Amino acid sequence: MINIGIIGGSGYTAGELIRILMFHPNAKLDFVYSTTNAGKSLSVAHHDLLGDIEMNFTDTVNPNVDVVFLCLGHGKSKTFLAENQFASPTKIIDLGNDFRLNKDETFEGKTFIYGLPELNKAAIKNANYIANPGCFATAIQLALLPLADAKLLKEEVHINATTGSTGAGVSPSETTHFSWRNNNMSHYKAFDHQHLGEISESLHQLQNDFTNELLFIPNRGNFPRGIFATLYTTCSESLKDIVAKYESFYKDQPFVTVTTTAINMKQVVQTNKCIISLEKKGNRILITSVIDNLVKGASGQAIQNMNLMFGLDESTGLHLKPSGF
């Protein structure tokens, strides 16, 4: 059994980790750390766990767990690791953005591998420290990596993607308040979203001569979870040839499905799946990518990485079916 600790246990990503790990055949939850809820039942913060798990939050850490998931919010993981030491065999998976970029991958002698399994699977298998990708970054990278691998990204890429309110975290704000979000929509951080850096680095890993812009408009949706992303760029290849390249690139990736049919977000919500739809309009390729921002975009992908790090089949504990209605 893999002995597991979770740091920052009261947020959405931690709740999803607990939900999935409860039924993982090789996982044992050792502790869930939360200074604000220490001593209280997990179901106080995660109401969906009521009656399913008898465990309380704690404000102490077991430094000898096999793996620890950091769910602390962006910019807080470095501070926590500087103040709390884990045993040298303990593996660390950070769900924040502290270690995702190349310039930040090394910290106090630890080198973090960028944890997108469809790109870095071999390195993840041998890693002790993982920087879990961002949610928008996951949906967008999976949409573009086969084109980069085939050296077909020759022009700027236009991206429009909408995420659910859980993408903003559990702490309430003006733009997550029900009265504001319901029956509403808005964009934010147009052209300079923080996930663009990790997306660019991954594309350059496969196509180092790609220097054109990623023109990204992120949107806030009036739904709790999921990401619906549409992307287009110029491409002279036929649809048949493009589909063949995508299918070849993802042939050994259990969570990515390629299709030419219309897709919708409900096909992936509550799962670790990414579905990619391809269309050709004249000399432009239109790519639609859908994921659950809390599963494939966060906690499910973190567990996928854990499986790879411990020599398990990467889909272990992640056979999750969406609800289509």
Hey, which residues are catalytic here? 135
Count of CB atoms situated within 10 Å of the CB of 282: 6
The two structure tokens encoding residue 4? 């597991």
Amino acid at 194: Q
The two structure tokens encoding residue 234? 């110029």
Alpha carbons 223 and 183: distance in angstroms, whole number: 9
Alpha carbons 27 and 13: distance in angstroms, whole number: 17
Q: Look up tokens 């970054």; give the residue.
A: 137
Q: What is the DSSP string of 283-323?
A: TEEEEEEEE-TTIIIIIHHHHHHHHHHTTS-TTTT------
Q: Which residues contact 4 (CB under 8 A, 6 or more apart)?
A: 21, 27, 28, 29, 30, 65, 66, 67, 68, 69
